[in-house]
Structure 1
Amino acid sequence: MPHRPIRFLIVDDIEQNIMALEALLRRDGLVVDSARSASDALELMLQHDYALAFLDVQMPGTDGYELAELMRSTERTRGVPIIFVTAAEMDEARRFRGYEAGAVDYIFKPIDPVVLKSKAEVFFRIGRQAKELERQRDEMQDIARHRDRAMAQLKAHADNSPLAFVTLDRDLCIRSWSKGAERMFGRRAGDLLGMAATTAGWLDEAGADLLTGWLDCRQDGAPRFSAEISLDHADIGPIACEVYGSVLSEGPGRQSLSLQVLDITERKQAEEIRSLLIGELNHRIKNTLANVQAIARQSLRQSDSLTDFEASFGGRLQALARAHSILSDATWASAPLDQLIDDQISSGTLDGDRLLRDGPAVELSPDTMLRLALTLHELGTNAAKYGALSVPQGRINLSWRLEGPELVLTWRETGGPAVTPPARSGFGTTLIGAAGGGDAGDAHADWQPGGVVWTLRLTEGVTRLAHSPCPAEGPAAPAPGRPATLDGCRVLLVEDEPLVALDLRFELEDAGAIVTGVARSVAEALEAGRAGPIDLALLDGNLKGEPVDEVAALFDSLSVPFCFVSGYGREHLPQGFDHAPLIEKPFRPDTLRSILTGLLARPLAPAAE
């Protein structure tokens, strides 16, 4: 039964006729309304939709013909079928007038119930079908509205999404291109729709082969794929993208490929930066451990007892640790010299009441900060043991000045006991000299009777004037032969960490090797390598932030066997030199000697042309 009932309308001025018709028409699903006049009938027809109207021809006032003409003149009632009910004999003229007024049929009184019911049944079914069609129409309209709303939401999501939505046909022609795709690739949809993705330059041949493989894949349902490929941006060229694809069937032999594309350029860059930072962190940690190793070994070498070793090593290690804390607070960028001095005072190494400092505000790079921390610790410790801080009236004057790109620092002791130059230079003196990077002349001590005066020249952590090594006539010829063991072997050290270089030098000389020099920059390494002669070289993986590819290539051209000594892993070292062994910092002396002896045992290769 339809949701809404079918309605018939009876218009007759006689109540008995209305009741008779209602009795004959009564059935389930039918509502019969009645009116005694044309005006009442028109009012009802404005309120309800009628599947059929029975109009009495003879009515006072407005008769049935006139009411039918009024119904035909109004849009709402024009389509209501009309059956005239009359008791009069019908001539052709009156019958024609009825049909002209819109009648579909006549029923004559007295009414034959069978004829009435059969005619009413036809219009009842027509009315029910019309109601059903209206219901279906309303449902279809609702479905269409929901569809349009869903499509609008989907389009809004696609247009505002950080993803690009692209549809390709079987021939990889572009069928849809979202606003997100326009933003991601700098290409307008109007310029691409209907064009092959490869012809448009958006997709390269490798990407086209991959997507064609997705379309050719035989799987049930809607196969889904994902891959990382390069897609072209109109302004910046190929960009790294993560592509998710779904193959959709559109009938026999017809397929389309729906793509969701994510720009992963920033993620790739972040991964590269993370890898670089991890490598740098690994390098810093291993360099720190190598420094600690060097401090431990050298402190042990020059300590008279374990008690002396514990005091000297513990103090130096604490100075290094506090400097690390200062740099961590500064995110390992740079830190003020004044903060380092304050730290030495707070730790008790220096007496703030007996220290006079004077100099401009300067910041030091991490490497220089770490070296100077050890230097100030040694100076303060020596002053407390033997110098100005060993007596109440002693004073320290710490001053510094800038001379171009260099920082000159003066440590002057006054009021202390008379001093004399030490009989031998210990490891503490070496640490003081390491403040400026370990080069000769960077640290000078003036042993005046009233107190020692140290002058330190710091060249690290500042911008240097670019200089090029003096040109050579060409690579020096390699030595005609080389020793088979480290005893008497001429070794070049290329290392920018003074303490690590010192430790390596001790180990090599203990093994009988001759260290021909220590190069602390790429320029120095190239100059020393060309000057020769060299039997063996140890090469740091990075020199003050500079790559060492050129130095490694020079050693190969001279047929000088070399190994890397680095805190970096193999992936962060110069590429193409896998034949060079890697000694990781901190190193073990037995490992160092074993690897170097193995290098010397290799056949002598001819120099590169």
Structure 2
Amino acid sequence: MSPPDPIKFLLVDDIEENLRALEALLRRDGLILIKARSGMEALELLLEHEFALALLDVQMPGMDGFELAELMRGTERTRGVPIIFVTAAATDEGRRFRGYEAGAVDFIYKPIDPLILKTKAQVFFDIARQHRLLARQKEEIARGAAELRTALDRLQAHTDNSPLAIVEFDDGLRLTAWSKGAERMFGWTSANMIGHRLDELGWVPEACVGRLTEMFRATLADASHSRGHDEVRCRTRDGAMLDCEWYSSVLRRPDGSAISLSVQILDVTARHKAEATQKLLIGELNHRVKNTLANVQAIATQTLRYTRSPEQFSATFTGRIQALSRVHSMLSSTTWQGASLAELVHDQLDLGVIDADRLSVSGPEVKLSPQTALRLALILHELFTNAVKYGAFSTAAGNVALLWTVEGDRLALRWQETGGPRVQAPTKRGFGSTLIENSLKSDGGAATASYRGDGVVWDLTMPLDSPEAINMRDPDNASDSTRHGAPAQTAATGIEGRSFLVVEDEPLVALDLVCVLEDAGASVCGPAGTVAEALELIESATFDAAFLDGNLHGAAVDEVAAALTRRGIRFAFVSGYGRQNLPQAFASAPVVGKPFTPRQIMEEAARLTAAPGNVVRLRAGEQG
């Protein structure tokens, strides 16, 4: 702190010796003595300086001390300056009265007693010094108050602009503060909320009030508590529910007693939705990847069953995987928004294995969902491949006409070969024709093949309103349907003679399941590709157990699982989803993950049909 400003006294006397005597007696540190030889000079000095005391000689020529005092009292600037008259007329009561009337606070009589002079001067010096100190303190207090107001205004601005809702409760849990952020978040104004208890207005649901009240009372009572956190569902004024995180702290007095409870509330509804969406997307990604792997596995298995040699398997399998890969790339370029039927056809032409002039294409623009595009890409791949190997494109004169029309919500597609080698209906059904006919039928479509003298004709119809309308099928209807790679029948598996319902919307995966079960000596009911088909078979068919996909064309399978449970039929989920994405009401049902092995399916089938308490395991060397 800087040293205090010096105190100033005014000494007025027309005799220089008297002024020097006063100066000698009053001189001290922190005091400035300013001298005037007349009333007029004194008035000029009074306008220039702030004096703590004026010592005025009464007897002066021109303007005496009384006249000077009266002028000082008549001016605002000098009215408050204390005046002590210095005079030799000690017994003149009239002059004393006039002096007090003019504004004097005291008299000093000549000859001057130094002790009296110094004592009286000290009083006014101390008063002036104290006045200065108080004025300084007042300025500092005013400055501190201004800084505090600025800080509070800044804090209020931060509070009002904060995305947090900041509220405060007294020790009775009544609201004492409600920020602008709280108004924006919940819709109520501070006038609506301040003064109300936590359990009023329905802001916090009744289910949470008791828990929060108990927690807050414990927080207020615990002097060591510094910060708390809780998750609370809060209701807005318009009735919407928000997921909120509450961060609480207690303001306390020096003795530790609670003054108030401050709570900062963060709306995490969007974050929870994002987390749920992320969880769903991860589940969907996991499901899609595993379904793709299951399809690849099924393609490999079924290709092996219908090929004669490793070389033939390699060529056929590679072609099918490449077709699947190309359509994946096509869908990725559109962020999986789908593909057009014409794009799938041109993809086959871009391979360069056929002359585009020998293919006639006609049909309107048809937008296919991603899953439908994947399946139809494999259909087209098989149609083109078989035409190159055995059909119209295997001779120089052959041609193919690919025509499609849309009638309402259904797509009708015709593949017609002409000019190729003579064909006849195969004596054995191949992998492709079985897939096309059965899967399109399960999806509400139809597939028929006509074997004419100059070429085969395929007529396919399918619904377009479902994203899963077209399933992957293999039209391998050539006569070389010998099951060179089919697994040999093995020793008893424990499910011979049993019957199983298969509910699966991926036709390749469904076919793989059917083959595994039938090769093990069981019979199959289905496969059903939709919830409606599954429910119908559950009501009308007889079977011992079931394998249930975790999702059917985007629809949950809770209803199917419930129907199986009502009939007392044991079942297992076959799914690319994790357990957390399957119906929680059936958490006790076993899960076979995709892609699966034949051994996994057979072991689960044996467990599903075993007597309660029996544990069934395949012996080493058995099928799987």
Q: What TM-score, normalized to structure 2?
A: 0.87
1:124 positional shift: 1.1
Does 2:511 match 1:502? Answer: yes
Picking from 260, 267, 287, the partner of 1:263 is 267
User: Is the 1:433–1:442 Cα contact (8 Å) retained in structure 2?
Assistant: yes
1:134 positional shift: 1.3
User: Is the 2:395–2:421 Cα contact (8 Å) retained in structure 1?
Assistant: yes
Deviations 1:163-209 (A, max 9, x none): 11111122211111111111111112112222211133333353443
1:526 positional shift: 0.8
Kindly provide the amino acid, as one letter, of the partner of residue 224 in structure 1: R
Equivalent position SS for 1:8: strand
Q: Could you say which residue in structure 2 is the equivalent of 1:575? A: 584
Q: Could you say which residue in structure 1 is the equivalent of 2:617? A: none
1:101 positional shift: 2.0
Q: Could you say which residue in structure 2 is the equivalent of 1:107? A: 108
1:68 positional shift: 2.3
Of 303-312 and 321-330, the range deviating more from structure 2: 321-330
Question: Which runs of structure 2 are paired with 1:416-435 in the superposition (5 Å)?
Answer: 416-430=420-434, 433=437
Kindly provide the amino acid, as one letter, of the partner of residue 449 in structure 1: G
Equivalent position SS for 1:171: coil
Deviations 1:302-358 (A, max 9, x none): 121111111111111111112122222222232222232333333446554543322
Picking from 422, 429, 447, the partner of 2:451 is 447
Q: Could you say which residue in structure 2 is the equivalent of 1:314? A: 318
Deviations 1:11-60 (A, max 9, x none): 34444443433333222112223344445444444443322122233344
CA 1:530 to 1:77, structure 2 compared with 1: closer, same or farther past 3 Å? same
Equivalent position SS for 1:338: helix
Kindly provide the amino acid, as one letter, of the partner of residue 294 in structure 2: A
Equivalent position SS for 2:585: coil
User: Is the 2:177–2:194 Cα contact (8 Å) retained in structure 1?
Assistant: yes
1:90 positional shift: 5.4
Q: Could you say which residue in structure 2 is the equivalent of 1:324? A: 328
Equivalent position SS for 1:407: strand
Deviations 1:236-269 (A, max 9, x none): 2442110111122235654421111101111111
Kindly provide the amino acid, as one letter, of the partner of residue 121 in structure 1: Q
Equivalent position SS for 1:74: coil
User: Is the 1:434–1:499 Cα contact (8 Å) retained in structure 2?
Assistant: no
Equivalent position SS for 1:276: helix
Q: Which runs of 5+ in 2 are unaligned?
A: 470-491, 614-624
Of 84-93 and 398-407, the range deviating more from structure 2: 84-93
Equivalent position SS for 1:103: coil
User: Is the 1:368–1:435 Cα contact (8 Å) retained in structure 2?
Assistant: no
Q: Could you say which residue in structure 1 is the equivalent of 2:12? A: 11
Kindly provide the amino acid, as one letter, of the partner of residue 565 in structure 1: V
User: Is the 1:84–1:106 Cα contact (8 Å) retained in structure 2?
Assistant: yes
Q: Distance in 2 between matches of 1:351 and 1:429?
A: 25
Q: Distance in 2 between matches of 1:576 and 1:110?
A: 115
The two structures, once aligned, show a CA RMSD in angstroms of: 2.7
Q: Distance in 2 between matches of 1:110 and 1:577?
A: 117
Q: Could you say which residue in structure 1 is the equivalent of 2:372? A: 368
Q: Could you say which residue in structure 2 is the equivalent of 1:248? A: 251
CA 1:66 to 1:515, structure 2 compared with 1: closer, same or farther past 3 Å? same
Q: Distance in 1 between matches of 2:175 and 2:285?
A: 47
Q: Could you say which residue in structure 1 is the equivalent of 2:415? A: 411
1:154 positional shift: 0.8
Picking from 532, 548, 552, the partner of 1:539 is 548
User: Is the 2:8–2:51 Cα contact (8 Å) retained in structure 1?
Assistant: yes
Equivalent position SS for 2:505: coil
Picking from 190, 212, 215, the partner of 2:214 is 212
CA 1:493 to 1:24, structure 2 compared with 1: closer, same or farther past 3 Å? same
Q: Distance in 1 between matches of 2:62 and 2:354?
A: 126
Picking from 294, 300, 303, the partner of 2:298 is 294
Of 110-119 and 15-24, the range deviating more from structure 2: 15-24
Question: Which runs of structure 2 are paired with 1:185-224 in the superposition (5 Å)?
Answer: 185-203=186-204, 204=206, 206-217=208-219, 221=224, 223-224=226-227
Kindly provide the amino acid, as one letter, of the partner of residue 208 in structure 2: A
Q: Could you say which residue in structure 1 is the equivalent of 2:608? A: 599
Equivalent position SS for 2:586: coil
Q: Distance in 1 between matches of 2:374 and 2:38?
A: 112
Q: What TM-score, normalized to structure 1?
A: 0.89
Q: Which runs of 5+ in 1 are unaligned?
A: 466-482, 605-609
Question: Which runs of structure 2 are paired with 1:16-95 in the superposition (5 Å)?
Answer: 16-89=17-90, 91-95=92-96
How many pairs are equivalent? 587
Q: Distance in 1 between matches of 2:46 and 2:389?
A: 119
CA 1:562 to 1:95, structure 2 compared with 1: closer, same or farther past 3 Å? same
Equivalent position SS for 2:584: coil
Q: Distance in 2 between matches of 1:340 and 1:6?
A: 102
Q: Distance in 2 between matches of 1:100 and 1:484?
A: 131
1:390 positional shift: 3.1
CA 1:221 to 1:580, structure 2 compared with 1: closer, same or farther past 3 Å? closer
Identity %: 53
Q: Distance in 2 between matches of 1:587 and 1:463?
A: 25
